Chain A
Amino acid sequence: MPDFLKIEHIRKTFPGVIALDDVSFSVAPGEIHTLLGENGAGKSTLMNVLTGLYHPDSGEIRIDGRRLSFTSPRDSLACGIGMVHQHFMLVPAHSVFENILLALDNLPNLFSRKKYRARIKQLIDEFQLDLDLDSPVWKLSIGAQQWIELIKLLLRDCRLLILDEPTAVLTPQEAERLFKVLRQLKKQGKSIIFISHKMREVMEISDQVTILKKGRSIASLTRGEYDERKLAALMIGADKIPEWQKNLQLSTQISLDIQQLSVRNDRGLSDLEDFSLQLIKGEILGIAGVAGNGQKALAEVLTGLRKASHGRIMANGEDLNNSSARHSYIAGIAHIPEDRKTIGIAPDMSIDDNLIMKSFKNSAFARGIFQDKKSIRRNAQEKIAQFAIKSGPEGTPVRYLSGGNIQKVIIARELSEKPAVLVALYPTRGLDIGSAEYVHKVIADGAAQGMSTILIAEDLDELLKLSDRIAVMFRGRLIGFVDPQNSSREEIGLMMSGETGENDGGEA
């Protein structure tokens, strides 16, 4: 079959960075083509070139054999290319309905709101989504926002759909639903470019995989020619995956005693209800649960972003909810938030400054009342090397980094102060497999030195591998613990859907 899209020798540089060096690949009609590459390899940049958002320095884009040069996303949309961006292109203050409306390709200037409401509603129901069309987008969870982006794309009549890490924030069940849609589109002869760091998904959905490394396309493989190991080896080099050991010698000391904690949201409903838990020193406590079952509220009270309406958080005999100890506790806790760009970093500041944001009082970074730029720089260099952060030239604002690299900056900063407690929400979301493994190692090493971790994650494999204990949450309540050594994905999956399993006496 002749190629629908052909990309040849694309090169794109930014001041001080070669984002794309030399990339070529092609996509056939009805093909799901996966792009695989480390954080900062240039995947998003390449897709932005393809949709006319970035102008390439050199290289060619051909569609149906015709050479095209896009000057704006408008041009590429006209050619039937649509894209879901890694960083959402949404208006937080507008309603879901308005966000979707603007993306429709055939919306007349004067339109019947009723007709389009019905059409959008239909699609939302088809995906079994719980989305209120009139709610402003800023009130929605990240997962819901991702679906809005997907709906924006799917309502358009595109010949090529580009999905830049759409599954990073979706639950495995939601990802499955998305894949079903993608397969249908494929049957209709549409081409899809898919980006993900999750190997399980890549293996499941791809017809063709192209690997990007440092801005170059180094291999294109057809289904059957590759397996997970081979892809990983091509992408990062198998020898680079760090090794680590779980800390098996748990202490008996309790670092946090959470007693009957409840949190209400602004509608008066409970996000967290009667939640009790004892976190042991040096333990990694996994929290499993379908997103939206209170994990976020738990993280927010524990890190002081929200107040509990009831209950206590005790450490060393003091209630951290109210006492004067609250302040130093909050300052001392490490937090890897879900929403990186809004609460994780100061986007306009450099990596150096973002990395010391938690330790700016530390005398190592000061000279009298002034900052010690040299030691701040040294600290940054260390962290950049340790976490393999792909950064631009010195002083580049953090917002220019790729999604995964921003995540690494946050993790590096949060763990730098040797915290007693780490609350991590989806810490490896958007990280390539090498970096994810490195983050696992850092958390495990921290645990060995006495750091207690509350690890909130969606990926059961990650939870099973890392946790000493797994607590399962459902509708804001803790419904039981499982031992990762002796339980399967299926068992936990069942509990996540509200079945209380072993400690359910049958009377519930």
Chain B
Amino acid sequence: MLEILLDATVRAGTPILFATLGAIINERAGIINLGIEGLMLIGALAGFAATHSSGSLLVGVSAAFVAAFAAGSIHAFITVQLRGNQIVSGLALTMFGIGITALFGKQLVGLTIDGFERVAVPGLSQLPVVGKAIFNQNLLIYLSFFLVAAIWLFFYRTRWGLAVRTLGENPAAADTCGVPVNLYRFLAVTSGSGLVGIGGAYLSLASTPMWIENMSAGRGWIAVALVIFAGWSSPKALLGAYLFGGITAMQLRFQALGTTVSAHILQMLPYFFTIIVLVISTLRLQKGASQQPESLGLPYDREDRK
């Protein structure tokens, strides 16, 4: 029972994990991205369409990354180059994503593909309790484990990562150290968006190997909130995403057991609990120093005095 629940937790949490990681990379560079929901949909549709026409999941995942990267570059151009309002631009990106995927997704509704299969890691997958949940999963889940570690190492062990973190805190400091502010911010936004796209592709290539209109169902918004819960750190993003995943898994279990509670109420629970945890964790935060990047949301103009 616990094994099954853990397994379902990881599976349900992974798309949100990708999206949260992507959002963290955006915000670490100082750019708020409220287009996550739209980017997930774009990734989901592009991934599905490419897999369907090529028959290759690798092509599908790459297409999801590229499409979301391209869509993210609109947000990057508006917020970094033009120093536009990040909130407005992000919301517009979400609207755009919802609209365009509904339009182009019409002819794909009802088609099927062969989605990602489980690949067991020999030996480790036999471990009691966690073996199956961690070491008998599909390749995208293994990729997400790798990314959690890689992103942490990137931010805390490389010069690039240090530069990106400095951009989020005080872009003028980075600028005077010779960091190309706009280029790095642009790349952070686009590559972060690309990861969000993979999160979307997980939905259409692994969770339910088909295209359903609006299939991200608000997960992008949960990711936006989880960034705060995670304190902009990738290992904590994993915790947050699995919290959501865990509650999703449980409510599915309840539904399967056939309770009398309305399915709509049950489906609401993961969102509800995520918000509760978020509120509690930010309350706790307020006492200590905030981990929020200090220049988050602020455009950088070299000739402006701070």
User: Which residues of A does B touch, CB under 8 Å?
Assistant: 14, 51, 53-55, 72-74, 77-78, 83, 85, 87, 89-94, 98-99, 101-103, 105, 107-111, 113, 138, 152, 347, 399-400
On whether A54 and B302 interact (CB within 8 A), knowing A74-B178, A102-B177, the answer reads: yes
Residue of A nearest to B163 (CB): A102
Determine whether the beta carbon of A55 is less than 8 Å from that of B303.
yes
Tell yes or no: B261 within 8 A of A by CB.
Answer: no
Q: Chain B residues with Cβ under 8 A from A138's Cβ?
A: 289
Determine whether the beta carbon of A98 is less than 8 Å from that of B306.
no
Q: Chain A residues with Cβ under 8 A from B177's Cβ?
A: 73, 89, 102-103, 152
Stretch at the interface among B7-15, B99-107, B153-161, B264-272: B153-161
Tell yes or no: B287 within 8 A of A by CB.
Answer: no
24 A-B pairs with C-beta separation under 8 A: A14-B303, A53-B302, A54-B303, A72-B180, A72-B302, A73-B177, A73-B178, A87-B306, A89-B170, A89-B173, A90-B173, A91-B165, A92-B169, A92-B294, A93-B169, A94-B166, A102-B159, A105-B178, A107-B159, A108-B159, A110-B157, A111-B158, A399-B305, A400-B305
Q: Chain A residues with Cβ under 8 A from B306's Cβ?
A: 87, 347, 399
Partner of B175 from A72, A87, A110, A400 at Cβ < 8 Å:
A72
On whether A102 and B174 interact (CB within 8 A), knowing A87-B306, A108-B159, the answer reads: yes
Determine whether the beta carbon of B302 is less than 8 Å from that of A102.
no
Interface string of B282-303 (1 = CB under 8 A from A): 0000000101001000000011
Determine whether the beta carbon of A51 is less than 8 Å from that of B159.
no
Q: Chain B residues with Cβ under 8 A from A110's Cβ?
A: 157-159
Residue picked from A53, A98, A109, A111, most chain B C-beta under 10 Å: A109
Tell yes or no: B113 within 8 A of A by CB.
Answer: no
What separation, in Å, do the CA atoms of A111 and B305 have in the docked complex? 33
Q: Chain B residues with Cβ under 8 A from A89's Cβ?
A: 170, 172-173, 176-177
What separation, in Å, do the CA atoms of A57 and B294 have in the docked complex? 31
Tell yes or no: B162 within 8 A of A by CB.
Answer: yes
Query: Which 6 interchain pairs have the tightest Cβ spacing?
Result: A89-B173, A91-B169, A74-B178, A77-B178, A109-B159, A89-B176
Q: How many Å from the CB of B160 to the closest CB on chain A?
A: 6
Q: Chain B residues with Cβ under 8 A from A101's Cβ?
A: 159, 162
Tell yes or no: B179 within 8 A of A by CB.
Answer: yes
Q: How many Å from the CB of B184 to the closest CB on chain A?
A: 12
Partner of B179 from A92, A98, A102, A111 at Cβ < 8 Å:
A102
Known: A89-B170, A92-B294. 5 other contacts (CB 8 A): A53-B175, A72-B175, A89-B176, A108-B159, A109-B159
Q: Chain A residues with Cβ under 8 A from B179's Cβ?
A: 74, 102
Partner of A83 from B173, B176, B291 at Cβ < 8 Å:
B176
What separation, in Å, do the CA atoms of A333 and B135 have in the docked complex? 66
Q: How many Å from the CB of B224 to the closest CB on chain A?
A: 22
Determine whether the beta carbon of A98 is less than 8 Å from that of B176.
no
User: Which residues of B does A touch, CB under 8 Å?
Assistant: 157-160, 162-163, 165-166, 169-170, 172-180, 289, 291, 294, 302-303, 305-306
Q: How many Å from the CB of B99 to the closest CB on chain A?
A: 37
On whether A90 and B305 interact (CB within 8 A), knowing A73-B178, A85-B176, the answer reads: no
What separation, in Å, do the CA atoms of A74 and B178 have in the docked complex? 4
What separation, in Å, do the CA atoms of A50 and B281 have in the docked complex? 46
Determine whether the beta carbon of A111 is less than 8 Å from that of B175.
no
Determine whether the beta carbon of B294 is less than 8 Å from that of A93.
yes
Determine whether the beta carbon of B158 is less than 8 Å from that of A91.
no
What separation, in Å, do the CA atoms of A113 and B306 have in the docked complex? 31
What separation, in Å, do the CA atoms of A94 and B163 have in the docked complex? 11
Determine whether the beta carbon of B169 is less than 8 Å from that of A73.
no
Determine whether the beta carbon of B302 is less than 8 Å from that of A98.
no
Residue of B nearest to A54 (CB): B303
Determine whether the beta carbon of B166 is less than 8 Å from that of A91.
yes
What separation, in Å, do the CA atoms of A93 and B159 have in the docked complex? 17
Determine whether the beta carbon of A111 is less than 8 Å from that of B178.
no
Q: How many Å from the CB of A6 to the closest CB on chain B?
A: 23
Q: How many Å from the CB of A489 to the closest CB on chain B?
A: 37
What separation, in Å, do the CA atoms of A136 and B233 have in the docked complex? 18
Q: How many Å from the CB of A250 to the closest CB on chain B?
A: 43
What separation, in Å, do the CA atoms of A83 and B305 have in the docked complex? 17
What separation, in Å, do the CA atoms of A111 and B291 have in the docked complex? 25
Residue of B nearest to A83 (CB): B176
What separation, in Å, do the CA atoms of A103 and B178 have in the docked complex? 8
On whether A98 and B162 interact (CB within 8 A), knowing A53-B303, A55-B303, A91-B170, the answer reads: yes
What separation, in Å, do the CA atoms of A74 and B175 have in the docked complex? 7
Residue of B nearest to A348 (CB): B306
Q: How many Å from the CB of B109 to the closest CB on chain A?
A: 45
What separation, in Å, do the CA atoms of A101 and B178 have in the docked complex? 12
Residue picked from B177, B180, B291, most chain A C-beta under 10 Å: B177
What separation, in Å, do the CA atoms of A99 and B163 have in the docked complex? 10
Q: How many Å from the CB of B101 to the closest CB on chain A?
A: 36
Q: Chain A residues with Cβ under 8 A from B302's Cβ?
A: 53-54, 72
Q: Chain B residues with Cβ under 8 A from A111's Cβ?
A: 158-159
Residue picked from B174, B175, B305, most chain A C-beta under 10 Å: B305
Residue picked from B158, B178, B302, most chain A C-beta under 10 Å: B178
Q: How many Å from the CB of A66 to the closest CB on chain B?
A: 20
Q: How many Å from the CB of B29 to the closest CB on chain A?
A: 13
What separation, in Å, do the CA atoms of A74 and B294 have in the docked complex? 23
Residue of B nearest to A71 (CB): B302
Q: Chain A residues with Cβ under 8 A from B163's Cβ?
A: 102
Q: Chain A residues with Cβ under 8 A from B162's Cβ?
A: 98, 101-102
What separation, in Å, do the CA atoms of A224 and B292 have in the docked complex? 54
Determine whether the beta carbon of A91 is less than 8 Å from that of B159.
no
Residue of A nearest to B175 (CB): A73
What separation, in Å, do the CA atoms of A73 and B165 have in the docked complex? 19
What separation, in Å, do the CA atoms of A277 and B169 have in the docked complex? 42
Q: How many Å from the CB of B178 to the closest CB on chain A?
A: 4
Q: How many Å from the CB of A277 to the closest CB on chain B?
A: 34
Q: How many Å from the CB of B24 to the closest CB on chain A?
A: 16
Residue of B nearest to A399 (CB): B305
What separation, in Å, do the CA atoms of A152 and B176 have in the docked complex? 11
Q: How many Å from the CB of A221 to the closest CB on chain B?
A: 30
Q: Chain B residues with Cβ under 8 A from A54's Cβ?
A: 302-303
What separation, in Å, do the CA atoms of A444 and B220 have in the docked complex? 63
Residue of A nearest to B302 (CB): A53
Q: Chain A residues with Cβ under 8 A from B160's Cβ?
A: 109
Q: Chain B residues with Cβ under 8 A from A103's Cβ?
A: 177
What separation, in Å, do the CA atoms of A77 and B174 have in the docked complex? 13
On whether A74 and B166 interact (CB within 8 A), knowing A102-B174, A109-B159, the answer reads: no
Q: Chain A residues with Cβ under 8 A from B178's Cβ?
A: 73-74, 77-78, 105
Q: How many Å from the CB of B80 to the closest CB on chain A?
A: 15
Q: How many Å from the CB of B165 to the closest CB on chain A?
A: 7
What separation, in Å, do the CA atoms of A93 and B170 have in the docked complex? 10
Residue picked from A91, A101, A109, most chain B C-beta under 10 Å: A91
What separation, in Å, do the CA atoms of A111 and B161 have in the docked complex? 12
Determine whether the beta carbon of B294 is less than 8 Å from that of A102.
no
Q: How many Å from the CB of A404 to the closest CB on chain B?
A: 14
